[in-house]
Amino acid sequence: MAALQNFNPGTVVEWKLERSPGIPEYIFRYVFWASKPAIDGFVYCRLVISIDGTHIYRKYDIKLLIAIVVDANGQIFPPVFAICANESQETWTLFLNHLKEHVIK
């Protein structure tokens, strides 16, 4: 994510890490990102936003949250993504709040 921010200035990345008692490492809970070109391009899209989540099964059991809009050319445009450890009301609330704060404004 640091490389994404370094090569795309203005890219937004929001992390949520937790620390459990007795464990020195942080535990991943959530990451949200929106690249600067996607944030800038959002203003030219239609006003309907579709959101969805999907399970990713492999080494880690994580969820991918995504928002999709349709651009002025009628093409699918994904402005934001999030990966979370579990799909819950808390992670959806974080996702929608970050979408509103960083993209919709």
22: left (phi over 0), alpha (psi -120 to 50) or beta: left
Q: Mean pLDDT throughout 19-48? A: 90
Q: Distance between CA atoms of 29 and 20, rounded to whole angstroms?
A: 12
pLDDT at position 105 over 80: no
Cβ-contact 98, 83 below 8 angstroms? no
pTM summary value = 0.85
Query: 12 - beta bridge partners?
Result: 34
Chain segment 71-83, per-residue pLDDT in tens = 989 999 999 999 9
pLDDT at position 12 over 90: yes
Query: Across all residues in the chain, what is the average pLDDT?
Result: 91
